[in-house]
Chains A and B, each alone.
Chain A
Amino acid sequence: QSVLTQPPSVSGAPGQRVTISCTGSSSNVGAGYDVHWYQHLPETAPKLLIYGNINRPSGVPDRFSGSKSGTSASLAITGLQPEDEAVYYCQSYDSSLSAVVFGGGTKLTVL
């Protein structure tokens, strides 16, 4: 059971928009700690996609966007492309655990 809760899977057709939710609690997301998102393709290193809730590192397309409200955060992907098929993880910090925490990951399937 992960500290941050994500749906196990989402799917969408090419060109569509999908969102991935990340629900935390008062000791992590709700306590004001930032949420970050990673894209993980098989047999590759995870890639930072969004940091500080809404910021994109250089090179990440603006099709990817993040938001945060209360104890939850979301990752939105617009204009879905086949190469977006991957597992997406949210991450934050938990003050009760004094630890970095990840969501369980969401498998995105591009139909």
Chain B
Amino acid sequence: EVQLVESGGGLVKPGGSLRLSCAASGFTFRNAWMSWVRQTPGKGLEWVGRIKSRDDGGTTDHAAPVQGRFTISRDDSKDTLFLQMDSLKTEDTGVYYCATCNNTKYYMDVWGKGITVTVSS
């Protein structure tokens, strides 16, 4: 069974940092492009960013609101995706989902259940 499980969420003060992890199983992780998507309170889904597979260059793209503060990375030896979040703002509060990302059509086909991040003083 294809499965994605996020962890590492919690409460953090504005300006602080948090690192989310996403453990993958049931598919060949190293070949997958992966994305992070978030849902902030009262708003809809928002793309956070994407990382390509190593064979496709392993490069990352981040959405403008998080560019320079968030960094997506992966450890293919551990089938794990990461989201390093620095300089957190209150508006970063929300539920963060990891998802597999189709490498030509840009859709997300398998999603984790999500993890909550709360940025508050």
Contacts and interface: CB of A to CB of B under 8 A. Distances in A.
Nearest to B43: A104
B29 interface: no
A36 B111 CA distance: 14
Query: Chain A: interface secondary structure?
Result: strand
A97 interface: yes
Interface in A20-41: 33-34, 36, 38, 40
Contacts of B37: 46
A36 B45 contact: no
B45 A38 contact: yes
A52 B104 CA distance: 10
Contacts of B102: 51
Contact of A34 (B35, B63, B107, B112): B107
Q: Which of B35, B102, B106 has the most CB of A within 10 A?
A: B106
Interface string A46-87: 111001100001000000000000000000000000000001
Contacts, number: 64
Contact of A48 (B61, B63, B109, B114): B109
Contacts of B112: 45
A102 B45 contact: yes
A98 B106 contact: no
Interface in B46-65: 46-47, 50, 61, 63-64
Contact of B106 (A87, A100, A103): A100
Given A47-B111, A98-B61, A100-B35, A33 B47 contact: no
Contacts of A38: 45, 108
A102 B46 contact: yes
Contacts of A40: 45
Given A44-B113, A45-B97, A45-B114, A2 B44 contact: yes
A10 to B, nearest CB: 15
B70 to A, nearest CB: 13
Contact of A104 (B44, B47, B106, B114): B44
Interface of A: 2, 33-34, 36, 38, 40, 44-48, 51-52, 57, 87, 89, 91-93, 97-105
Interface of B: 35, 37, 43-47, 50, 61, 63-64, 97, 99, 102, 105-109, 111-114
